[in-house]
Chain A
Amino acid sequence: MQNILFGLIAGSVLAVATSGFALLRNTERFLHIAHGQFMALGAFLGIVLAGPLGVVPAMVVSVLLVSALGVVSGIVLFDPVKEQGANVMLFTSVGLAFVIYAVMIAVFGTQLRVYDVQLGDARDLGPVSIAPGEVVLLLLAALVITGLWLLLSRTSIGRDIRAVASNRELAQVRGVAINRVTRTVWALSSGLAAIGGIMMGVLGSVTTELGWTNILLILAAAVLGGMGNILGVIGAALALGIVMDVSALVIDTSYRPIVAFTILILVLLVKPEGLFSFQKRREVTA
């Protein structure tokens, strides 16, 4: 039971981080590898600005700054190459990832940083033990995710985003302001990345390697979650987190990453996406 809680905590941080990634994937249709670096940047800014601004204001400012960076990247780097296809955008993102990584090393240096945030002592709450800070983290994650869901389902911009995600051409024909959607998605995605990065920093520590170590897990959660509803991705992230932590009960913990990736592969093999192509083939040769 305790392990499920552990998984929930790790999974909700992963969910926040992945939701931003999935947003971009669904609407702009490419894998944004630099997402990890945006997370790291958010984490670093949160610490570095805490001195002059205070811990919480620094986090807010960090999220705003990273969102802005995301919008600018979208305009300057990704829009120009959009018609070349998803693969080119993927590698542009890889390039951006390397550039951000380099700048972080040069500006922040490579020393390990820690958030000056205490999560408090664990108390027993029924069958599990949980610390106040962990409760806050869970609530924050829930808040962010709920906010995102509400935005997507209840607001007009959210409706536009979903329209573009399901059929870009049709949305354009219908008169949806594509550019506005693109900017919004970039801002949201990058902001979510920053929040995810800060949460990871608070739970663990912050190094320049943070982006690279997390991107594979985010990829896995995003792919498992599928291209449809954002909730699918959230669910996948939570499930992944829980499975990884529960598996620690039965197998050696060094196998944890292997467990996550094996599940990913197995699900992919069974999942419809893999069968889609057979369907397509059947259609054409019929």
Chain B
Amino acid sequence: MSVSFLVTIATLALVFSMGSMLLNVESSWGGMWDLGIAGQIAVGAYTYALLTGPPDSAVPGFDLPILAGMIGAAVVVGVVSTVIGWPALRLRGEYFLITTFAFAEILRQLIVIRKDVTGGTFGITSVKKPFAETFTFEAYPYVMLGLTLVLALVVWALCTRLGNSAYGLTLRAARDNEALAQSMGTSISAIRISTYAAVGAMCGFFVAPAYVWFLGALVPSIFVSSLTFTIWTGLVIGGLGSKAGPLLGALVLTIGSEMIRLVEVSPEHAQIISAFHPLLVGLLLIGVLRWRPGGLISERTSFTRSRARLASASATSETDRTPSAQTGSL
């Protein structure tokens, strides 16, 4: 059994899982169903590649160090997300969905058209990978897996922290009962835009660079809507709104669909085998939604412990409560 193949798909799986976790924050907790995440990753990826690229290549870059590239990507995507979010978030439900879908496609088209900046369809052919010079090419895939794993764990920690925090609570409250949250003093639009922009920035810092390192080159066709659907599928399968669900779901999805390659067939049947990838994705989606609609790990399960903690905390402080606070906790 060959390990370096497993290492490769594990790395890809972790990249997608970061996307799913971040999507979870804005979509399930925030209630903002974003179908444009591929666009945000695209902006981050190209920003990173251009900031760190060599100045003498076909598509010149600024040759900045990797960390600077990651931060730069985060900033740019954060800004772009704010600009897009400000009008888009005035829309609700499916209108927001379609708007983000449209924005992602517009961004991708712009990348194709502005070939003087992005290389257009020719793409960016060399990317700066961390520690590439220090390790042999045989060891490097393991290094990349390790790095991506670290990044994924950081994203997971950040998202979990966010989910458990007061901010997360407010976010979910705004999702579940907007009027009530507003009456309690939450600025709905502020919390939504800040979440959307923060998710964008994190895509720019974590997901985009990691994906670029994995791919080794950038072309606009990477960022078509199927990327968005793949990340969404990982989220849905894993469990919308849970904390570990998106990570698990993306891992299961990516590893499952890539492992199909291990089925040996003669070349004329290769087409049937390749049809398995979308078939698996589709069946998983339909199946999970039908029989385990919460996903592999549901939001309710995920937050059971936090709810229990809250319940016990409020039980002990029952006697301390003032009447005004009581009405507030309706």
Residues of A that sit less than 8 Å from B by CB? 31, 77, 80-81, 84, 86-88, 91-92, 94-103, 105-106, 109-110, 212, 216, 219-220, 223, 252, 254-255, 257-258, 261-262, 264-265, 268-269, 273-274, 276-277, 280-281, 284-285
User: Chain A interface: which of B6-14, B62-70, B161-169, B278-286?
Assistant: B278-286
Residues of chain A within 8 A of B283, CB atoms compared: 95, 99
CA distance A109 to B106 in the complex (A): 31
Task: Decide: B293 and A88 in contact? CB cutoff 8 A.
Answer: yes
CA of A164 to CA of B286, assembled, Å: 26
A91 in contact with B236 given A31-B94, A269-B87 (CB within 8 Å): yes
Distance in angstroms from B187 CB to nearest chain A CB is 12
Q: Which residues of B contact A100 (CB under 8 A)?
A: 282
Whether B284 and A95, one on each chain, are in contact in the complex, defined by CB atoms closer than 8 angstroms, is: yes
User: Could you tell me how many residues of chain B have their Cβ less than 8 Å away from some Cβ of chain A?
Assistant: 48
Q: Report B-chain residues with C-beta under 8 Å of the C-beta of A262.
A: 106
Nearest 8 CB-CB pairings of A with B: A98-B282, A95-B285, A102-B279, A99-B282, A284-B179, A261-B102, A95-B286, A106-B275
Of the candidate stretches B135-143, B199-207, B224-232, B308-316, the one touching chain A is B224-232
The smallest beta-carbon distance between B78 and chain A, in angstroms, is: 20
Least CB distance, B225 to chain A, in whole angstroms? 7
Contact B274 A105 (CB under 8 A): yes
A95→B253 CA distance, assembly (Å): 13
A285 to B290, CA, bound (A): 37
- Residues of A contacting B95 in the complex (Cβ-Cβ under 8 angstroms): 223, 268, 273-274
B289 touches A254 (CB 8 A): no
A285 and B183 CA atoms in complex are apart in Å by 7
> Please, which residues of chain A bring their CB within 8 A of the CB of B112?
254
Q: Does any Cβ of A come within 8 Å of B91's Cβ?
A: yes
Tell me the minimal C-beta distance from A44 to chain B in angstroms: 14
Contact of B271 among A110, A220, A257 (CB under 8 A): A110
Closest approach, in angstroms, between the C-beta of B168 and any C-beta of chain A? 20
**Which A residues are in CB contact (< 8 Å) with B272?**
106
Interface: B33 (CB within 8 A): yes
Contact B98 A268 (CB under 8 A): yes
Is B299's beta carbon under 8 Å from chain A?
no
Does B58 interact with chain A (Cβ within 8 Å)? no
Question: In the bound complex, do residue B275 and residue A258 qualify as a contact, i.e. CB atoms below 8 Å apart?
Answer: no
Tell me whether A273 and B271 are in contact in the complex, defined as CB-CB below 8 angstroms, given that A91-B236, A257-B105 are known contacts.
Answer: no
B99 at the interface (CB under 8 A from A): yes
Cβ of A103: which chain B residues have Cβ within 8 Å of it? 275, 279
Least CB distance, B287 to chain A, in whole angstroms: 8
Interchain nearest-CB distance for B23 vs A (Å): 13
Q: Are A88 and B289 in contact (CB under 8 A)?
A: yes
The residue among B95, B232, B233, B293 with the most chain A CB atoms within 10 A of its own CB is B95
Beyond A81-B289, A269-B87, 15 additional pairs, beta carbon < 8 A? A84-B289, A87-B33, A92-B286, A96-B286, A98-B281, A100-B282, A102-B275, A103-B275, A106-B271, A106-B275, A265-B87, A269-B90, A273-B91, A280-B179, A285-B183
Taking a contact as CB atoms closer than 8 A, the residue among A91, A220, A277 that contacts B285 in the complex is: A91
**Contact indicator per residue, chain B 208-245, by CB within 8 Å of chain A (1) or not (0):** 00000000000000000110010011001000000000
Report chain B residues within 8 Å CB of A252.
Answer: 113
Residues of A with C-beta under 8 A to B289: 81, 84, 88, 91-92, 95
Most chain B CB neighbours (cut-off 10 Å) among A91, A106, A109, A274: A91
Does chain A have a CB within 8 A of B303? no
Q: How far is the CB of A236 from chain B (nearest CB, A)?
A: 13
- Whether A268 lies near B99 (C-beta < 8 A) is yes
The answer to whether A219 and B101 touch (CB under 8 A), given A106-B271, A281-B178, is yes
A–B Cβ pairs within 8 angstroms, 17 of them: A80-B290, A88-B293, A91-B236, A92-B285, A95-B283, A96-B286, A97-B282, A98-B278, A100-B282, A103-B279, A105-B271, A105-B275, A223-B94, A261-B105, A264-B102, A269-B91, A273-B92
In the complex formed, the residue of B with least CB distance to A261 is B102
Closest chain B residue, CB of each to CB of A34: B282
Q: Which residues of A contact B178 (CB under 8 A)?
A: 281
Residues from chain B with Cβ under 8 Å of A281 in the complex: 178-179, 182
Interface contact A212-B109, CB-CB below 8 Å:
no
**Residue among B109, B274, B281, B293 making CB contact with A257, cutoff 8 Å:** B109
Q: How far is the CA of A96 from the CA of B284 in the complex (A)?
A: 10
Question: For residue B285, which residues in chain A have a CB less than 8 angstroms away from its CB?
Answer: 91-92, 94-95, 98
Tell me the bound Cα distance from A101 to B276 in angstroms: 10
Inter-chain CA distance A254–B225, complex, in Å, is 19
Which residues of chain B (92-135) have a CB below 8 Å from chain A? Answer: 92-95, 97-99, 101-103, 105-106, 109-110, 112-113
Nearest A residue to B286 via CB reads: A95
Residues of A within 8 A of B277 (CB): 102
Q: Is the CB of B105 within 8 A of A84?
A: no
The one of A102, A219, A223 that contacts B282, using a Cβ cutoff of 8 Å = A102
Q: Complex: how many Å from CA A223 to CA B93?
A: 12
In the complex, the answer to whether A285 meets B179 with C-beta atoms within 8 Å is yes
CB-based nearest A residue for B177: A284
Are A91's CB and B275's CB within 8 A? no
CB pair B91–A216 under 8 Å, yes or no, is no
Minimal beta-carbon separation of A237 from chain B (angstroms): 15
Chain B residues within 8 Å of A284, by CB: 179, 182-183
